[in-house]
Chain A
Amino acid sequence: MSGVDAQQAEVEGHLSGRRLPRWSTPALAGGALLVGLIVQLTGWTVVGLAPGVVAAIVFLLGQAITSLAIEGRRHSKDRIATTLIYATFVVALTPLLWILITVLVKGLSVFDWTFFTSTMRNVSPRQPGGGILHAFLGTLEQVGIATLVSVPVGLLAAIYLVEFGKGRLKFWISFFVDVMTGVPSIVAGLFIYTALILTGVLQQSGFAAALALCILMIPVVIRSSEEMLKIVPNDLREAALALGVPKWKVILRIVVPTAISGLITGAMLAVARVAGETAPLLLTTFLAQDINLNAFNGSQTSLPTFIWDQISRGTTSSVNRAWGAALALILFVLIIYAAARILAARFTPKSR
């Protein structure tokens, strides 16, 4: 190590200069945490900042200054940027972990066998017990119907856009898909409510709820499928066409199988996205306390509306049930994500 800092070394044409030792970062972090702890214990308020924020600022400044003195400007700036990026990462992750831990702690307290196998029939809000079976079945049915409608429609639309569409029609379809992606979920519910329920075409039912979910799901499926079909190399389409294979067969037997893992992932992510929707369901299917497997007749509770219902009742047992249902919903979505990853890995074209 030469006697000059890295900045000076650069000017003088050396390849090495002074650097901070490796232990400097943990040492500074420890010092900064100590300062934070002192602020916490003594109750000093540094212009009203929380102890954690004080520690972060001390760390950032301490590192910037020591680095500037020993390593030079470029390394100092590098360390500031690195610290800020890690800090934003922590800021972004904190609420996420917080939510997850809260839901886990509160939800696990009501998890037992009856919670998954019983319904809210004859259970008053104040009573403990009861379960989510009816809500879980409702979610399965509504999301299931929505998926059965949305995935074929979305996939066909994506195939049209990628393989056939041109000119004005393609532009407008693409445009409205973009617009639909941004539709607030309550508007989807409101639309089904006014267009189909108020006019008497449907009554409030699981099917009406599934249709509202379709409005949210179809654009998501179209967009993800479109991206997946686009990355299928054109070489493959041309190779198949040059063998004298008709275009529809090229799409069905070459393009879709090549993209299948991405298509599955996209569809599953769309499922996971709508599984947590509440607003469109409240308007279209309202609530029930017991199992209703008939999606075309009468109210049907789902996990999100169950949570909403239990919270609004405000008793200790009902709020606990809401936390339990929230945890169950998160697990449900997590299982769908995991299934998507496993299926996608299985269908990825292999080279060995």
Chain B
Amino acid sequence: MSKQIDINDLNIYYGNFLAVEGVNLTVRANSVMSFIGPSGCGKSTVLRCINRMHEVVPGARAEGSVRLDGENIYGPNVDPVLVRRTIGMVFQRPNPFPTMSIYDNVVAGLRLEKTKGDKRNLDEVVESSLRGANLWEEVKDRLKKPGAGLSGGQQQRLCIARAIAVEPKVLLMDEPCSALDPISTLAIEDLIRELRERYTIIIVTHNMQQASRVSDMTAFFNLAAVGKPGKLIEVGPTQQIFTNPQEKQTEDYISGRFG
């Protein structure tokens, strides 16, 4: 059900500025990979290239290939809309649609795009998605209330429910807990461990404990200096990256000696 991702020689640009250079990376199906590294090193940029959200920014483009079970999502006839339906995304700040109720938020992806010929009962989708996001018990009595009325942690889980309601194969998470308190963070981390059964997950995080708690593999990005492109320094099993990194830069970063 979930799929493997292979990134080959990915160069990412903003206009003429080379933001990230030469990324080669494989994420196995049904695994969690975390991207760590200092601010500005390009972790989020790489993440956004995996479902072609990068090109939404004016002037932004990417070279190289990102393969989803072998199919290059940057191929000539690929429709970015279909890519994004297969590879879902959760953002740093919770962003439920303010005009919609909790219910409508969850089914927004299905309602707005019915071309799948999706005949599934929307009520069932709402319940299973909200259960999947560990939010069902908290909101089942007020599904018709606006999503914007939930707390920050609930909103973020609502966004996760919205993302999994369209049944993607891969889930990208861009610092999903950075705006949340420790209790909501814990809820989301538990959720990531459950979602791993069904999805391939990539999570960008600044919290190294979080990376070690939730991920199977960890990729460390760094940049030589401000204005230089970010690079993938090292990737490996999370256990190994945090206890026995092969690169000195990685060791310096995870032990707090950087710069």
Q: Which residues of A contact B (CB under 8 A)?
A: 166, 233, 235-246, 249-250, 253-254, 257-258, 260, 349-352
C-alpha gap A350/B100 in the complex (Å) = 9
C-alpha gap A101/B193 in the complex (Å) = 71
Are B91 and A235 neighbours in the complex by a CB distance under 8 Å?
Answer: yes
C-alpha gap A246/B82 in the complex (Å) = 9
Task: Identify 17 new A-B residue pairs, CB closer than 8 A, beyond the known A240-B108, A244-B81, A249-B112.
Answer: A166-B58, A235-B93, A235-B95, A238-B56, A238-B91, A241-B53, A242-B53, A243-B85, A244-B86, A245-B108, A254-B97, A254-B99, A258-B98, A258-B99, A349-B98, A351-B149, A352-B149
Interface centre among B95, B97, B99, B113, by most chain A C-beta atoms within 10 angstroms, is B99
Are A246 and B88 neighbours in the complex by a CB distance under 8 Å?
Answer: no
In the complex, chain A residues whose CB is within 8 Å of the CB of B51 = 242
Of the candidates A253, A258, A349, A350, the one whose C-beta lies within 8 Å of that of B112 is A253
In the complex, residue of chain A having the shortest beta-carbon distance to the beta carbon of B51 = A242
In the complex, chain A residues whose CB is within 8 Å of the CB of B146 = 349-352
Q: Given that A243-B163, A244-B82, A245-B109 are contacting pairs, would A236 and B145 also be in contact in the complex, using a CB cutoff of 8 Å?
A: no
Count A/B pairs, Cβ under 8 Å: 82
Q: Given that A349-B146, A352-B146 are contacting pairs, would A243 and B166 also be in contact in the complex, using a CB cutoff of 8 Å?
A: yes
B231 within 8 A of A: no
Q: Which residues of B contact A (CB under 8 A)?
A: 51, 53, 56, 58, 81-86, 88-89, 91, 93, 95, 97-99, 108-109, 112-113, 145-146, 148-149, 159, 162-163, 166
In the complex, chain B residues whose CB is within 8 Å of the CB of A240 = 97, 108, 112
In the complex, chain B residues whose CB is within 8 Å of the CB of A244 = 81-86, 109, 113, 166
Closest CB in chain B relative to A161 CB, distance in Å:
13
In the complex, chain A residues whose CB is within 8 Å of the CB of B82 = 244
In the complex, chain B residues whose CB is within 8 Å of the CB of A242 = 51, 53, 84, 88-89, 91, 163
In the complex, residue of chain A having the shortest beta-carbon distance to the beta carbon of B148 = A351
Closest CB in chain A relative to B148 CB, distance in Å:
4
In the complex, chain A residues whose CB is within 8 Å of the CB of B166 = 243-244
Are B97 and A241 neighbours in the complex by a CB distance under 8 Å?
Answer: no
C-alpha gap A254/B147 in the complex (Å) = 14
C-alpha gap A250/B88 in the complex (Å) = 16
In the complex, residue of chain B having the shortest beta-carbon distance to the beta carbon of A233 = B95
In the complex, chain B residues whose CB is within 8 Å of the CB of A249 = 112-113
C-alpha gap A258/B163 in the complex (Å) = 20
In the complex, chain A residues whose CB is within 8 Å of the CB of B88 = 242-243
C-alpha gap A191/B7 in the complex (Å) = 60
In the complex, chain A residues whose CB is within 8 Å of the CB of B113 = 243-246, 249
